[in-house]
Structure 1
């Protein structure tokens, strides 16, 4: 078939392919979000300590209390606690971040991976010695390499041989008093 009919058929086929391609990209993004969690942009409105903060989603809705996943910063009343909070605050307070909510902890906080300008905020904290990388029963945590680097360079918490992991600090002293 030659002539205008064939051109209309090609145009229709191209439109169908473009629409299908867009649909497949949307499906892939949705599956990725299901696998990786809920992803959204938000403004950081408060930094409570070195691993807990509040955000306001840019899309609207309620403020959300978040905890950075895969790391543990010192308690606010523990040595290094204020430095960790101040570092996190200097990095993200009042800035727009990308939040990837993974799951919830036993306090109901969303456990998240947070990025600011494409940089993983958790990795940023650990490599500067403001937090410990989580360790799992059967392997190293996500930020184990960053912790090794901070330890080798004796950065932050890792400059102190006697720095105490927050879990042990809480076990020995209980929770910090609220401000």
Structure 2
């Protein structure tokens, strides 16, 4: 039994091998924040597995404000595995044990970003529920996903 538990813990740890703890000092948009650690070093963090409307897109500022209310000036924990092409930490953000990425999807402010988090079934279920309840972005009949919005702007 102990061997099985040890294997599980190692596997879980390997999924998100890094941990950042600090205070959110700014919110760039609905899925990107800046966290200052105890050494006063600032880290840009991209929320894993979700994508929110761009700032200049419909619901973009609303999504940013929703994230800000959840995390700004609060102590957070970020579990992460990697950095993205822009040097941002890509991770799961927690405030008082609450998984913020999931909260954003449940409230209808974010899409489950299947391209990068295909196996995050909790995010998929949260998006489906938000769609059914027509929460946030889902009050629109056919909201444009941010990845399409970005592609059209190029």
Q: What is the TM-score when the length of structure 1 is the normalising length? A: 0.75
Out of 17, 22, 32, the position equivalent to 1:37 is 17
Q: 1: distance between equivalents of 2:124 and 2:10?
A: 29
Q: 2: distance between equivalents of 1:111 and 1:62?
A: 17
Mapping 1:22-171, distance limit 5 Å: 33-58=13-38, 60-136=39-115, 139=118, 141-142=120-121, 143-171=123-151
Q: Which 5+ residue runs of structure 2 have no aligned equivalent?
A: 1-5
Paired residues in the alignment total: 147
Bigger RCO (CA 8 Å, 6+ sep): 2
Assess if the C-alpha contact under 8 Å between 1:104 and 1:110 holds in 2: yes
Q: 2: distance between equivalents of 1:91 and 1:109?
A: 20
User: Per-residue deviation at 1:61?
Assistant: 4.6
Q: CA RMSD in A?
A: 2.3
Residue by residue, what CA displacement relative to the aligned partner does 1:12-58 show, whole Å, maximum 9, x if unpaired?
A: xxxxxxxxxxxxx9xx9788544422113210000000001100013
Q: Which 5+ residue runs of structure 1 have no aligned equivalent?
A: 1-24, 175-179
Q: 1: distance between equivalents of 2:64 and 2:114?
A: 22
User: Per-residue deviation at 1:157?
Assistant: 0.4
Q: What is the TM-score when the length of structure 2 is the normalising length? A: 0.86
Assess if the C-alpha contact under 8 Å between 1:134 and 1:141 holds in 2: no
Assess if the C-alpha contact under 8 Å between 1:39 and 1:99 holds in 2: yes
Residue by residue, what CA displacement relative to the aligned partner does 1:65-123 show, whole Å, maximum 9, x if unpaired?
A: 01001000010000010000000001100000111122111111110100111110000
Structure whose CA Rg is larger: 1
